[in-house]
A and B are shown apart, each in its own frame.
Chain A
Amino acid sequence: MTGLKRNIPIFWGLHARPGMVFGRFLGFLPVALLAGLYLFASHARAEKNPEDKLMPSLHHMYEEMKTIITVPDKRSGKNLFLDDTKASLKRLGMGIGIAAVASYFIGILMGMFPGFRALLAPLVTGLSNINPLAILVIILVALGVGESSKVFLIAFGIGIPMMRTIAGMAERMPNELTVKALTLGATQFQVLYKIIAPQMLPRLIDLIRVSLGSAWIFVIAAEAVAATEGLGYRIYLQQRYMNMGLIIPYVIYISLLAYASDLALLGILKLPWFRWYSNGDE
């Protein structure tokens, strides 16, 4: 077997194969480096000024989080952490839900039926070019500072681009599929709900995953401007006290929530129901 062995690089070059263990180590390296850097800087600043607020220690952040999670608010007697999470997730869920339903139905109609496309495409294209954050003030004036304005911002912000994408996908569905269904005796409505709509469902879920990032931006932005509870509201409230000890863990918590919601949607796509979608080779 001698002479057949090649030297395979583990890091450099096109042909590198880092392998399982070393690969994991590589991924861990920059994260550990940054975390170490932070801890070092935080420690150094604390030595200079024990009252330092910019870079709190791990212990400080832990204490802050522990307080907000376990101790009810003095004034209202409520658990702020739980209420914040609930409020933000509710807004996010409603916004995404409305955006998904509207973009699914209107998008499919626009994609399948040229009449609907001609009717709605210019409007939707126009709306999709409006920056949702730029009209946040208009939304607040029109819908008030209650829940509806926040939900509307999310639904509008992600729903309109989703609608465009769904319409494009439905339009690009192979025409042969529609023709085949019609020759098998399908009505136009049957083509819609038996052939096209079911195929757009996993694509919609994929689209929601892509839109999750923007959806979180809109939640936090809306809560920052006008709210009495919510994860974004808490962060902006603590900004007044420069309370980094709470803000930083909250940011991490929001990131974890976003990651978890993405995983949940991915889990739906992995269901046997959508087997045809995930292992498609076409």
Chain B
Amino acid sequence: MEFIPRPKPAITGNEAVHLEDAYHGYLDTSTGQVKTVLNDIDLIVSRGEFVSLVGPSGCGKSTLLKLFTGQEIVQQAKYFQVLGRLPSFPDRTRGVVFQNYGLAPHLTVLRNILLGLEFQASLLQRFSREWWKQAKDMARKYLDDMRLTDASRKYPTELSGGMRQRVAIAQTLITIDLFGMPDLICMDESYGALDASTREDLQIFILKLWENYKKTIVFVTHNLEEAVFLGTRVVVLSQFWTSDEPAAQQQGSRIVVDIPLEPHAMSTEVKQTTEFKELTKYILDRGFNPKQRLHVAQFNADLRHPNAFSSLTKEQCASALIDQPASAPPPVSDSRTE
């Protein structure tokens, strides 16, 4: 296996996320040492991409997302921009959909959906009966779209998981429609708590939303099928890798798979095709197997997305010429279009 450094793609200014040489960790209070979670992450996401982010438990998927939304501040990075600037604390340029807690429990569904509008309303509008009437009419349109018409006066605790998730999406949707914000939507295991059929409904739904608005979506999920079905690109973050560095520096997760996917077919039937299954198996082999740790030089050679790049040093790959256990060859670009 040859050592092939992957060059950085040309920067066009059209990046939603641009992260280079990023390290992030936590202070482990029991040992007093910093535990690295993200190890040398290089990631460029163009605007309009639908990135599925998967990885084993504890690999730092959610942490990476928190860096994008501004909930956490990256500890070390050569370059970090989200939507053209260093991400500050959470604001309306970057939306987020959580698995839980996204909804204000003390507000009805209607009022929850109105939140984005209310936050932008001027003092005058907030006291105007007319404004409220218009706003509520508008929110009802979204309720109808979301098949939540009957639930408008209910509180979040009175809803099923799928309904709550639809409300959470509607909250973000109404702000996109009215203000063109957010440009980047981070979904943190949003569908984790849903049953299979609700999940498929909402998968189709988010795809339609993405087609209509062409916003950038980073979708963190545990479910490989979901990842491959939804994304235009699958990024696998995994702590199961090896290099020629001392063991102490081999902590944390790296991007071990980064593959482009063809545009979506709007049918969940593609999940049954052989290509689809091979792809999920490939991802499973590469990223989720603690017994078969791939060498950095090898998986870096296999990063296939045009935006994928990595900044390896010769030291990390000194033994890269030694034979590595050959893994299944990456499948050829899947043909999932109808």
Contacts and interface: CB of A to CB of B under 8 A. Distances in A.
Contacts of B102: 176-177, 180
Contacts of A182: 89-92
A279 B116 contact: no
A199 B106 contact: yes
Given A185-B175, A194-B115, A180 B157 contact: no
Nearest to B66: A179
B67 interface: no
A213 to B, nearest CB: 28
A276 interface: yes
A101 to B, nearest CB: 20
Interface residues of B, number: 34
Contacts of A276: 105-107, 155-157
Contact of B90 (A183, A194, A280): A183
Interface string A193-225: 011001100000000000000000000000000
A76 interface: no
Which has the most chain A C-beta neighbours within 10 Å: B91, B101, B172? B101
A185 B182 CA distance: 9
Nearest to B171: A184
B127 interface: no
A185 B96 contact: no
Contact of A183 (B106, B107, B157, B182): B182
B115 A183 contact: no
Q: Is the interface of A mostly helix, strand, loop or mixed?
A: helix
Given A174-B101, A199-B106, A277-B106, A183 B155 contact: no
A282 interface: yes
Interface residues of A, number: 25
B105 A282 contact: yes
A280 B105 contact: yes
Contacts of A185: 91-92, 116, 119-120, 175, 179, 181
Given A176-B100, A276-B155, A183 B92 contact: yes
Contacts of A177: 101-102, 104
B79 to A, nearest CB: 24
Nearest to B116: A184
Contacts, number: 82
A199 B158 contact: no
A131 interface: no
Contact of A184 (B89, B92, B100): B92
Given A176-B98, A176-B100, A280-B157, A184 B115 contact: yes
A279 B92 CA distance: 32
B137 to A, nearest CB: 19
A180 B116 contact: no
Nearest to B93: A183
Given A174-B101, A280-B157, A179 B96 contact: yes
B118 interface: yes
Contacts of A184: 92, 95, 115-116, 119, 171-172, 175
A282 B161 CA distance: 12
A47 interface: no
B115 A181 contact: yes
Given A194-B115, A199-B106, A179 B69 contact: yes
A195 B104 CA distance: 7
Nearest to A277: B106
A208 B207 CA distance: 49
Interface of A: 174-177, 179-187, 190, 194-195, 198-199, 275-277, 279-282
Interface of B: 69, 71, 89-92, 94-96, 98, 100-107, 115-116, 118-120, 155-158, 168, 171-172, 175, 179, 181-182
The 4 closest A-B pairs by CB, nearest first: A185-B92, A176-B101, A276-B155, A182-B90
